[in-house]
Structure 1
Amino acid sequence: MTDNNSLSRRRFLQATGGAASAVAIAGCTGNDGSDGSDGGSGNQSGNNSGGGNANRDMKEGYLQLTNSSIETLDPVANTGTAGGTVIVNTYDSLMMYPDGEAAVEQLLASEYESSDDNTTYTFTLKDATFHNGNDVTAQDFVYSFERLAASDNSRRTYFILDSLGVAHETKTVTQDGEETEVYKPGTLAVEAVDEKTLEITLEKPFHASLEMLAYASFAAVPEGIVGDVEGHDGEMEYNKFANNPVGCGPYQFESWEKGTAVEVSKFDDYHGTAAKNEGVHWQIIEDTQALYNWGQNKNADVIGIPSSEYSADKISVDEEDDLGREIGTYGPMRNGDTANYMSIPEISVYYVGFNMEAVPKPVRQAFAHAMNQQTMVEEVFKSRGEPAYHFTPPSIYPGGAKEYASHAEGSYPYGYNTSQLDKARQVMEDAGYGPDNMYEIQWTQYESTTWEDMAKILRDQLQSAHINMSIEKAPFSTLLKRGRNGNMEVYTLGWIADWPAPDNFLQLLNPPQTDTSKAAPTSYINWSSESGAAAQQATDAWSTISNNLGPTDQAGNARSEAYVKMEEANWEDVGFIPVYHSLGERFWYDWLDLAPHGGMGAERQKYHEAELSERK
C-alpha cells in the first residue's frame, strides 16, 4: 500500500532505550523526553553513534536538544513525534495543550463560541504573521484544512473527516475494483466569514472538538503555499515545502540535515511572547548509548538517560504539584553532575502488535500467556511506567484508575502480573505444535536495547511453548513503512494521546481501520472476522462509540460501555498485548530554565519560554 492518503490519526510510539522514553509517530507514541529527545518521540535515529564531541560549536543562545529521525515537516503528512516536536514549535493551530498539559487552551483563536447543538464553532483569530511575512487569515485555515482533507500528501484525512467529523460531501470512486465513497474536494464546511472569523460546521457533535483542533495537523499554513489541492498552483514545490516549513509559530525554520540535525531560530514577529532564547538545535541520535554519551558530554541541555544507565535510587523528589508531577533532582550522573528531574504519568500505551492475518491465534495467545507485564516494567524498564492490561491509559479509562485496576485484576485472561508458560505451551500443543514442529516468527522493533532485552526474555520463554522467535531491529521510519505495507508479523510500538479520551486510543482496535491493504491504516494488525472471532464485537462497539460522540452524559455513558467491550474483544483475539503506560521523565542541567511538561507529552511543548544561562 502507499502512505500518501490518510485515514490515520496515529501516533505510534516506540521506545528508545528508556522505559518511558519512546519514539512515536504522530500516530505512534511519542517521546516522553526521558531519552533526551525531549519533545519528539518519533524514532530515535542515530547517525551520531560516537557519543558526541564536548567541544563542538554551539550557537550562542540556542537550546541544545536531541531528537529522532524525521520523515517530513509538513503538518498534514507528519505521523511521528520526532517531526511533531519541530512542527509544534514552527506552526500554530487554533488551540493548544500548553506545555503538554491535558487542559486545552486558545492559541491562534482569540475567542470562540459554539452553537446550542454543538455542531458549529466560530473562531475569532488573533493578529498573527507567517514567517514569509503574510498575515494569518481565516482563508489560510480554509486552505490548510482542505489540505488535511484532500491532499494526496495528507496522512491525517481521518482526523478532520471522521474524528472531528467536519461536514462534507463524498463522491464514488473505484479503488482496487471496488466502489467506495471518498471526500469530494472543495466541499468541506469550513468558511472564512471574514478575514478574522472562521466557522467550522460538524456533521454531529464531537466531545473533543477543541482538543482535536489543538493537534498539529490542524496548524495554519499560508494559503496556496503548495499546489496539492484543487485551485492552487503552489508557491513552492511540495518537497521544498515539506523540508522547509513556513508557519507562524515562535520559531522559523533554518536548516534540516536529514539524519543529523534540525535547527530553528527565534521569530521576532511572533503573535505571542517572543522567544526568550535565540533558537533550538535538535541533534538526531538513534543509538541509546550515544544519546547518553551526548548528554554526559554536555552537548545537550536536556539529558537522555536510557534504562541501561538509569537508577531510581538517584532520584530525590522535592515536591509534587497539583498535576501529579514529581519535581526534584537526579544524580550524581556519570559525569559527576546532578541534574534537575521531573516525571509525570503520560497518557500513553506501549504494546506488542500482531499481523493477525499472518500469525495464528494460538501463537498470539501464547505470547500473551508468556508476558508478565509487571516483571517487564520492573526489570526491563526500571519501573519507568506501570504495567498495562488495557489499551486505554488509567487516567482516562472509564471510571478512572481504580476501575482500570479492578477490571484488569479480575478479568484479564492471560495472567495478571504473572507469566503462564504452562498455558502458553498447552495452547500451542492444542494447535498441533511441539518440539518437532516449532512455530517460526519474526519480531520487528525499533533500534532500542531496552525493547531488545524484553524481546530476548520473551524469545527464551517461548522456546518452551514451541515458538522460535527471531529478533530484527529496524530504523523507526522503516518499521512504519513495513507496518503500513503489512510486512511485519509481531512488532513493538506505542501511542501517546492526540486528545485525552479512550476513543483516541481505541480507534487502533477498530477492525476496518486495521486493514493494511487500505491506505494509511490506524494500526497494522489486520483484524477481521477471518483472523479473530471477536472482530465483530469490536466493530459493533466502535459503531456505538461513533454514534455517541456528543458531549452529553448519555452519549458518554454509551461510549464508556463500548470502550470496555473493545478492550475485552482485544483480550479475546489478541491483536495487541499492552505492555506498559509510560512515565514521562525529563533530566536537565541547571543552566536551562524550562517548564515541566504535562501528560500529553513533551512533544507538545513550545520552547519559546525557556531561558538559558551560561553553560558550565
Structure 2
Amino acid sequence: MRSLCILLGIILLFQSVPVVDRYGGTLHIGHTVGIETLDPHRINVFYPSFDSSVAVANQIFEGLVRYTSGTAEIEPLLAESWDVSEDGLVYTFHLRKNVYWQDGNQLFAEGESRALKAEDIVYSWNRATAPETWSPMQDFFSTTAAIESWQSKGAHTFEVTLNQPNPSLLYMLPFPCFSVVPKEIAQYKIDDFQPIGTGPFEVTSVTNQVVLHYNEDYWKGEPYLTEIQYRMVNSENLVSEFKKGTIDWYLIPPEYWEEFSAYNQVTVPQFEILYLGMNCQKSPFSDKRVRQAINYALDCSAALDDIFKGQAVQAVSILPPGLVCHTQRSDMYPRNLEKAAQLLDEAGYTGSPRLIIELKSSESYTQQQFNNIYQEQLKEIDVELEVTYLEVSSLLHAVDTGDTQLFTLGWRVGWPYPDQFLFLFHSKNWGPGGNGCFYTRKEVDTLLETAQKEPDIDHACGLYQQVEELILEDAVWILQWRRVNGYAVQEWIHGFNPGGMGDKYETLDKVWISADHRQTTRIPQNTGETQEGIPLYYAAGVGVVLMVVLVLVVRKRT
C-alpha cells in the first residue's frame, strides 16, 4: 500500500514536468509597416510604426508591470508587488532580486551581467523625460500620468509620487515610455542606442529584418521559442506569404477578411465603441422617454454579420469586454416597437409623423448602410429620420458646439481603464471634452469623481459599474458595435493570446511551435520561476524513481 501511495505521489509530481518538446524553433512575423526604432523611449504613438515597434520592444524590454496575457488586467513584472498610500499619491514598488540584464553584448560581456536595481529605473524615467532624448511621451509623465517625482529607496525599492490621485497609473505603466534600460546606456549617444533589456528575447541582428534570440538567463525561465524574425511584407503579399507558411501570424487587413475564413483565426473585440449620440439639451432628446424610445426602436444586430462579415460585434455595454471593471450585461434595450410607441405616447408625441429627427453622420460607407436600416426601422413607429452627411472635421465641430440632435461618433481608449470611457459623461466635459451629448446628472458626476480617486480597484469598479448602469438607464447613447481584430494564425502555432490592447503588448515567451513544424529543438537549461514544471534533471530523477517503484509493486503482487 505504501508503494502505491509513493507511486501516486510521484505521478502527481511528474505531471508538472515541463513539456520539453515545446522548446525550439523560429517564429516568423510579418509587418506591413516598418519598425521605426528599438529605443522604447522614442517610440511615437502618433506614427504608423507604433504597433510594430512596440511589438518588438516588448520582447526585449520590461517595465514595472504588464498586461496579463489576453486581458487588460495588470500583473507584476519587474516589480513583484507594490503599496499605495492612503491618499493615493505615493506608489512604492518592490523589485525582484533575481532579474539580470541581457549579456553577450556591448554593455555586458557573456556571463558578466549584473542585477537590475532601482537606480536603473530612475535613470530610465529620467532619460524618457529628458529634452535631449526627444521622446514623444516626455510630457505624458507629468500631465496625463500625473507623476510628480520618482526616486530609488535602496537597491530594490522604487517610489513614485503623484501630483494628484491617479488610479489608472498602473494601466499606463506597460507603455514603452516606462520601459527600463540599464544606466550604462548613458555612455552612448541617443542615436547610438543599444537595445539591451531584461526581457525574454535579445537582439542579434537588425538589417532588413529584426532577429531576436531567446534570453537563456531570463528570470522567468527560457522562452519556448529559440528565435523570432520580424520582417516587412507588402500588404498585397500577405495572403500568399501566409498560404506558403512563411509567416506564422498577422493582423488580417479588413479587405482580406473573407479570404481567411477557412483558416485558423483569433478574434478580439477592440477597446472602442461606435454609437449614436443624442443631444440631451435639445428637444426632443431632452426627454429621457424619447431617448429610450429610439433605443428600443433601433437595432443594428441583424445586419452586423451581413455588413461586417464577422469584423464587428454588437455593443450592449459602454465598457467593452476585457476592459477593467467590465461586467457582463444583456441588452438593456432589445428591439421592442410596442414599448417604443408607448414611451413616445407618454412623452406627448402622438401626431403623424410623431417626430422628424436629423441625424448628422460621418460619410463612412458602413455607417451609411446602417443609417438606411435605421430610417426603415423608425418608420415602424412613425418617426422620420433625415440624414445629413458631413466630413469628419465638420461633424466634430457640430458635435462640440451642440449643433446636433442625433449624431454618429466613436471612441477608442488610450489605456484600458474605465474612466477612459465613462468620464466622457461628466458634465465638465460638455462639448470638446467628449460629452457631445451635453449630458448631466449630479449623481453620475459625484460617482465619477469618487471613483477617479479610489486606489482600490475593486471599490473603484463598483463605482464605475454604478455609473455605467445610470448612463444606460438614461439612454444617452444608442450603442452600435465594436470592431474586431482578427489574426490569421498558422495551425502549428500555440500560446498566442492577444487582448483588447492588441498583440503588440503580448510577450511571446509562452508561444510555441508544434514539433512537426519546428526547425530546431532544444533542451531547456533554465526554468526560472515558471510554475509549469521542475528542472529537467529533476524530472529525470523522478522518472528513475518511478521505474523503481513500479518494479517493487510488480514484485509484491507476484
TM-score, structure 1 normalization: 0.54
Q: Cα offset for 1:603?
A: 3.2
CA contact (8 A) 2:213 2:226 kept: no
Name the counterpart of 2:450. Answer: 544
Name the counterpart of 2:362. Answer: 443
CA contact (8 A) 2:129 2:137 kept: no
- Are 1:107 and 2:77 matched, yes or no? yes
Measured at CA, do residues 215 and 361 of structure 1 come closer, stay the same or move farther in structure 2, by a change above 3 Å? farther
Name the counterpart of 2:489. Answer: 588
Deviations, residues 30-74 of structure 1 (Å, cap 9, x unaligned): xxxxxxxxxxxxxxxxxxxxxxxxxxxxxx956233467999975
Work out the CA distance in 2 between the residues paired with 1:138 and 1:281.
31
Query: Is the deviation greater in 213-222 or in 289-298?
Result: 289-298
Work out the CA distance in 2 between the residues paired with 1:543 and 1:456.
39
- Are 1:200 and 2:160 matched, yes or no? yes
1:302 maps to which of 239, 244, 249:
249
Work out the CA distance in 1 between the residues paired with 2:36 and 2:400.
17
1:348 maps to which of 271, 274, 282:
271
Measured at CA, do residues 193 and 146 of structure 1 come closer, stay the same or move farther in structure 2, by a change above 3 Å? farther
Deviations, residues 225-249 of structure 1 (Å, cap 9, x unaligned): 99xxxxxxx944xxx79xx995735
Measured at CA, do residues 280 and 439 of structure 1 come closer, stay the same or move farther in structure 2, by a change above 3 Å? same
CA contact (8 A) 1:77 1:155 kept: no
Name the counterpart of 2:470. Answer: 568
Deviations, residues 291-311 of structure 1 (Å, cap 9, x unaligned): 767755766432666788768
Q: Cα offset for 1:94?
A: 1.5
Query: Is the deviation greater in 302-311 or in 195-204?
Result: 302-311
SS in 2 for 1:189: strand
Alignment of 1:269-288 (within 5 A): 272=218, 273=222, 276-281=226-231, 283=233, 285=235
1:220 maps to which of 177, 180, 183:
180
Measured at CA, do residues 114 and 213 of structure 1 come closer, stay the same or move farther in structure 2, by a change above 3 Å? same
Deviations, residues 186-216 of structure 1 (Å, cap 9, x unaligned): xx23103356642223567766664443344
Which letter does structure 1 place at the counterpart of 2:125? V
Q: Cα offset for 1:443?
A: 0.6
Which letter does structure 2 place at the counterpart of 1:128? W
Alignment length, in residue pairs?
455
Measured at CA, do residues 107 and 440 of structure 1 come closer, stay the same or move farther in structure 2, by a change above 3 Å? closer
Deviations, residues 491-533 of structure 1 (Å, cap 9, x unaligned): 554546834x5335323444545764xxxx6xx4546xxx33x
Q: Cα offset for 1:391?
A: 0.9
Measured at CA, do residues 247 and 362 of structure 1 come closer, stay the same or move farther in structure 2, by a change above 3 Å? farther
Alignment of 1:231-270 (within 5 A): 235-236=189-190, 248=197, 250=201, 264-266=210-212
Name the counterpart of 1:498. Answer: 415
Deviations, residues 67-107 of structure 1 (Å, cap 9, x unaligned): 67999975675168972453143143211124334553333
CA contact (8 A) 1:92 1:247 kept: no
Measured at CA, do residues 143 and 339 of structure 1 come closer, stay the same or move farther in structure 2, by a change above 3 Å? same
CA contact (8 A) 1:350 1:581 kept: yes
Deviations, residues 298-351 of structure 1 (Å, cap 9, x unaligned): 66432666788768xxxxxxxxxxxxxxxxxxxx968xxx6334456x583422
Measured at CA, do residues 278 and 296 of structure 1 come closer, stay the same or move farther in structure 2, by a change above 3 Å? closer
Which letter does structure 1 place at the counterpart of 2:462? S
Work out the CA distance in 1 between the residues paired with 2:242 and 2:419.
37
Work out the CA distance in 2 between the residues paired with 1:444 and 1:583.
21
Name the counterpart of 1:467. Answer: 386
CA contact (8 A) 2:70 2:498 kept: yes
Which letter does structure 2 place at the counterpart of 1:543? E
Measured at CA, do residues 549 and 123 of structure 1 come closer, stay the same or move farther in structure 2, by a change above 3 Å? closer
Measured at CA, do residues 367 and 210 of structure 1 come closer, stay the same or move farther in structure 2, by a change above 3 Å? same
Measured at CA, do residues 373 and 436 of structure 1 come closer, stay the same or move farther in structure 2, by a change above 3 Å? closer
Which letter does structure 1 place at the counterpart of 2:301? Q
Q: Cα offset for 1:281?
A: 2.5
Alignment of 1:327-346 (within 5 A): 339-342=263-266, 346=269
Return the structure number with greater helix share. 2
CA contact (8 A) 2:493 2:512 kept: yes
CA contact (8 A) 1:538 1:565 kept: yes
CA contact (8 A) 1:204 1:550 kept: no
- Are 1:89 and 2:56 matched, yes or no? yes
Alignment of 1:304-453 (within 5 A): 339-342=263-266, 346=269, 348-352=271-275, 362=285, 368=295, 371-382=298-309, 386-393=313-320, 400-401=327-328, 404-405=329-330, 408-409=331-332, 415-417=333-335, 439=358, 441-445=360-364, 453=369
Name the counterpart of 1:127. Answer: 100
TM-score, structure 2 normalization: 0.59
Work out the CA distance in 2 between the residues paired with 1:479 and 1:350.
21
- Are 1:153 and 2:143 matched, yes or no? no
What percentage of aligned pairs have identical amino acids? 13
Structure showing greater Rg: 2
Q: Cα offset for 1:589?
A: 1.8
SS in 1 for 2:151: strand
Name the counterpart of 2:507. Answer: 606
SS in 2 for 1:191: strand
CA contact (8 A) 1:354 1:525 kept: no
SS in 1 for 2:362: strand
Deviations, residues 425-451 of structure 1 (Å, cap 9, x unaligned): 999997x99899984734155xxx766
CA contact (8 A) 2:41 2:179 kept: no
What CA RMSD, in Å, does the superposition of the two structures yield over aligned residues?
5.9
Deviations, residues 339-388 of structure 1 (Å, cap 9, x unaligned): 334456x5834222659699987499597566414324454345666532
Which letter does structure 2 place at the counterpart of 1:544? T
Work out the CA distance in 2 between the residues paired with 1:101 and 1:579.
23
Measured at CA, do residues 352 and 203 of structure 1 come closer, stay the same or move farther in structure 2, by a change above 3 Å? same
Segments of 5+ residues of structure 2 without an aligned counterpart are 1-24, 109-113, 520-558
Measured at CA, do residues 252 and 460 of structure 1 come closer, stay the same or move farther in structure 2, by a change above 3 Å? farther
Which letter does structure 2 place at the counterpart of 1:218? F
Name the counterpart of 2:18. Answer: none
Measured at CA, do residues 444 and 251 of structure 1 come closer, stay the same or move farther in structure 2, by a change above 3 Å? farther
